[in-house]
Structure 1
Amino acid sequence: MKASELRDKDSAALNKELSDLLKAQFGLRMQLATQQLSNTSQLQNVRRDIARVRTVLNEKANQK
């Protein structure tokens, strides 16, 4: 997911995306804890996506 794609979305869509990513992160953390996660780089990718969404949300909030 690219930041330019996120900037095209409105705040409601970004909040939904953030919620979905946080749920995905929780699921990946549970898989990691139970040693069912084979590709541990997924966790890092989700964390970065969460940071991108939060950054764009903050940019939109500061524009107003």
Structure 2
Amino acid sequence: MKIFGRNHIIISVITFVILFLMNYIGSHEQDKLERALMTAVAGVIGLSIGLFILNKGKNDKTPPQNFD
């Protein structure tokens, strides 16, 4: 999956919405909006970093020697 391609944007939006709603609806604190936004943004950033790492080694022509 290409980073910041169409599929990545769609998955990021779905992840943001799910995390935001889970934290906003399930919280009874005063600052539930701020907490929900921070958690959703952190989830999307973590997803992007994970996809970047996964995509980085996808087309590697020289794998490490004696991997196992």
TM range (shorter): 0.3 to 0.5
Whichever of the two has the greater Rg, that structure is 2
Q: Highest relative contact order (Cα 8 Å, sep 6+), 1 or 2? A: 1
With the length of structure 1 as denominator, give the TM-score of the two structures: 0.47
With the length of structure 2 as denominator, give the TM-score of the two structures: 0.45
